[in-house]
Structure 1
Amino acid sequence: MLHRENKIKKYHVSSAADLIQETMEYYDITQTDLAERLGVSQKNISDILKRKRFINEILALRLEKVMGISSELLLTLDSHYKLEQAKANNEITKNDKKNPLFLRRYDWVSA
């Protein structure tokens, strides 16, 4: 039954790294093997899996070709993940109407 007191649970936000790691485990391939197939360094793959680096469009297309994962999905996952991290780190200010940067209509402006 729905109650107003029940809080909505926030779902885990995944990055492309989570899906890549899961696929690597499914196919039992190493970072080195994946790096060779993609034409990048093993360090690059390691940094992506540790979320120190995020995939770009070219790597997303290579991953799609090698792993069969949609490049659009991978880029969307990373985009949403980075946005949630920015929100969590309070890098985006709330729409605080006292904030001088917040857009507002002035009384003296006529429409």
Structure 2
Amino acid sequence: MLHRENTIRRYHTSSAADLIKETMEFYQITQIDLADRLGVSQKNISDILKRKRFINEILALRIESVMGISSQLLLNLDANFKLHLAKETAMESAPQHKSDKFLKRYDWVTI
């Protein structure tokens, strides 16, 4: 049943880093071990886990072959996370109001 008092819950937007961290904890592997298995530097893994850097397609495929996590899922998580960050940044820099550049039909146009 719908009630006006109900609020819409904001869901946590996670990135590939969250899933990678969770998998590392489950298998009890270190950043150094994961970096070695993936053929990248430990700093690269550290930056990804701190969300200073995001994974690319090649690294997603390597993670899939080593950790068994779908490369498509990893890339989608990061894409959604980056879009979420961009929306937050846009909201902070420009309050929500309609732009005069938004597409609109002109009254004089007939079909």
Q: TM-score, normalised by structure 1?
A: 0.90
- Cα distance in structure 2, aligned partners of 1:61 and 1:22: 18
Quickly say closer, same or farther: Cα 1:95–1:57, change in 2 above 3 A: farther
DSSP-derived class of the 2:90 partner: coil
Structure 2 residue aligned with 1:63: 63
- Cα distance in structure 1, aligned partners of 2:49 and 2:34: 12
> Following superposition of structure 1 onto structure 2, how do residues 24-103 of structure 1 map, counting pairs within 5 Å?
24-90=24-90, 96=98, 99-103=99-103
Deviating more after overlay: 72-81 vs 100-109: 100-109
Q: Which amino acid in structure 2 is aligned with residue 15 of structure 1?
A: S
Deviation at 1:3, TM superposition (A): 1.4
Structure 2 residue aligned with 1:105: 105
Greater fraction of residues in helix: 2
Q: Which amino acid in structure 1 is aligned with residue 84 of structure 2?
A: E
Q: Note if contact 1:16-1:78 (Cα within 8 Å) is conserved in structure 2.
A: yes
Structure 1 residue aligned with 2:12: 12
Alignment length (residue pairs): 109
Identity, % of aligned positions? 70
DSSP-derived class of the 2:100 partner: coil
Deviating more after overlay: 13-22 vs 85-94: 85-94
The root-mean-square deviation of aligned C-alpha atoms, in Å, is: 1.8
Q: Note if contact 1:95-1:102 (Cα within 8 Å) is conserved in structure 2.
A: no
Gaps of 5+ in 1: none
Gaps of 5+ in 2: none
